Amino acid sequence: MSTAVDSSAINEMARQIRRDCIRMVVTAGSGHPGGAMGAAELFAVLYGVVLHHRSKTDTTAGPDRFVLSNGHICAGWYSALSLTGHLPREELGTHRKLGARLQGHPSRHMFPSVVETSSGPLGQGFSVAAGIALGKKLRRDEGTVFCIVGDGELQEGLVWETALSAAHRQLDNLVLIISDNDVQIDGPTSEIKRVRPVAPKFESFDWHVLTVDGHDVPALIDAFDRARTVREKPVCIVADTVMAKGVPFMEHDPKWHGTCPTPEMAERALEELGPADGWEDF
């Protein structure tokens, strides 16, 4: 798969995701830009390269499934969906609006064709993803279940219960992607409750672990390719990411976990990211 992919196009998609995240939260007047921008390459590679869907209008119909467990970074997910034809670009302007499909945390009730489970309580999305993977395995269904979590989310006990169960069940159709940026809402994750080093922890739970630069598109594609070949173990991809990647005055700063930029800051951020290239801003 990796040899046929234009990495530059995926990098441009990630840049547009970042532009969309800034515009979405400013339009809404609230939101979580930092983690969404930091996961831009993860969303771009998943939706631009990796996920196998039979239909762009009903993404649950294909053999692969996706769960966003840290639902607060959904602006990045919604952008990726719009860039790959799963929802109209103009709908991004409804993010966090009352009654809209694109809620501030993904809502299965509002968007059942795409959202596998409503998310908000951290850790629960991962457990749902493992349940979907177990169901697929029991039915001998094709495809892989992919799930993104944040590193701060690893402080939840449910994560480790799920990790233990997934390894015990040998869920080799489950791929967990950790956006490891060492930032959570109250400060550096390493100061709030240390979770690093992440890889040895999952290895001790009998997972197959791959560590990768979360902003290196070819390396991410290779990691996902390798993940599909693993047998008898679930796979954990530890992706080293940067909070609010692409906008220097926002990078690494816990403030941007859940703070909306002012319109003036947003213009500065969009200038830092560069002009839209290949997609029109919504």
Predicted confidence at residue 159, as pLDDT, reads: 98
Least confident of 19-23, 89-93, 115-119, 248-252: 115-119
Q: Is residue 280 part of a domain?
A: no
Residue 246 lies in a domain: yes
Domain count, the chain: 1
pLDDT tens digits, residue range 198-237?
A: 999 999 999 999 999 999 999 999 999 999 999 999 999 9
Tell me the one-letter amino acid at 202.
F
**pLDDT exceeding 90 applies to what percent of the chain?**
89
Alpha-carbon span 29 to 281, nearest angstrom: 18
Q: Give domain status of residue 281, yes or no.
A: no
pLDDT higher than threshold 90 for residue 177: yes
Q: Does residue 282 fall inside a structural domain?
A: no
> What pLDDT shows up at residue 53?
72
In a domain, 202, yes or no: yes
For strand 235-240 and strand 174-180, is the pairing parallel, antiparallel, or unpaired? parallel
The answer to whether position 253 is within a domain reads yes
Each residue's pLDDT tens digit, 259-273: 999 999 999 999 999
Residue 82 has pLDDT above 70, yes or no: yes
Q: Is residue 169 part of a domain?
A: yes
How many Cα neighbours within 13 Å face the side chain of 83?
Answer: 33
* For range 27-37, the mean pLDDT: 97
Q: Is residue 6 part of a domain?
A: yes
- The band of 54, judged by pLDDT with boundaries at 50, 70 and 90, is low
How many whole angstroms separate alpha carbon 53 and alpha carbon 114? 11
Least trusted range by pLDDT, from 17-21, 65-69, 118-122, 211-215: 118-122
Per-residue pLDDT averaged across 233-248, rounded?
A: 98
Counted residue by residue, the chain has a size of: 282
The residue range of the domain holding 144 is 2-273
Instruction: Report the CATH number that the domain containing residue 199 is assigned in CATH.
Output: 3.40.50.970
